[in-house]
């Protein structure tokens, strides 16, 4: 019993010399654990990479008579917060990609209204479009 306890302590504190069979068994055990544990344990603590799903970042707000629709677009989808021709182009592409009814690409942006959040930063854009 004492030799078993001593062997466990030596493995836990990694006190075997390189080149011994005990060292090789410990290395093989660690390698097998690293390679096969995801198949058995199913780790679910994956970090989120990139922005949130796009469907949550573009929402239909209102539909006015004459088929003018207003969408709320999260500002995190866009690169520049200043109204420029690039902003309008980026908004057009973002709405086109994320709204199933407008994915044919033929619509006109009538109005872009920035919605400010905390710290006076732009959090959303309300984009009025006419198909």
Q: Using an 8 Å Cβ cutoff, are 50 and 111 in contact?
A: no
pLDDT at 31: 95
What is the enclosing helix (H) or strand (E) of 17? none
Residue showing tokens 């709204």: 99
20 or 84, greater pLDDT: 20
Strand order across the 108-116 sheet: 58-64, 68-74, 122-130, 108-116
Q: Is the pLDDT of residue 32 over 90?
A: yes
Q: Where exactly are the structural domains of the chain?
A: 2-41, 54-130
Alpha carbons 118 and 96: distance in angstroms, whole number:
28
Q: Which of 84, 85, 131, 83 is nearest to 108 (CA)?
A: 131
pLDDT at 34: 92
pLDDT at 28: 92
pLDDT at 106: 74
Q: Using an 8 Å Cβ cutoff, are 80 and 87 in contact?
A: yes
Alpha carbons 63 and 60: distance in angstroms, whole number:
8
Instruction: Tell me the pLDDT tens digit for each residue of 33-63.
Output: 999 988 888 777 766 665 555 556 777 778 8
Q: How far from the centroid of its chain's Cα atoms is residue 40's Cα?
A: 25
What pTM does this model have? 0.48
pLDDT at 82: 57
Instruction: Tell me the pLDDT tens digit for each residue of 87-127.
Output: 777 777 877 777 777 766 677 778 888 888 888 788 888 88
Q: Using an 8 Å Cβ cutoff, are 68 and 128 in contact?
A: yes
- For residue 74, the cross-strand partners are 124
């Amino acid at each position: 019993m004492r030799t078993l306890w001593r062997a466990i302590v030596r493995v836990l504190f990694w006190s075997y010399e390189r080149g011994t069979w005990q060292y090789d068994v410990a290395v093989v055990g660690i390698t097998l654990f690293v390679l096969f544990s995801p198949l058995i344990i199913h780790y679910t603590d994956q970090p989120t990479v990139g922005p949130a799903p796009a469907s949550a970042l573009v929402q239909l707000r209102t539909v006015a008579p004459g088929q003018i629709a207003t969408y709320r677009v999260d500002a995190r989808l866009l690169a520049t917060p200043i109204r420029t021709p690039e902003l309008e182009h980026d908004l057009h592409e973002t709405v086109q990609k994320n709204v199933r009814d407008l994915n044919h690409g033929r619509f006109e942006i009538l109005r872009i209204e920035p919605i400010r959040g905390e710290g006076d930063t732009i959090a959303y854009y309300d984009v009025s479009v006419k198909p």
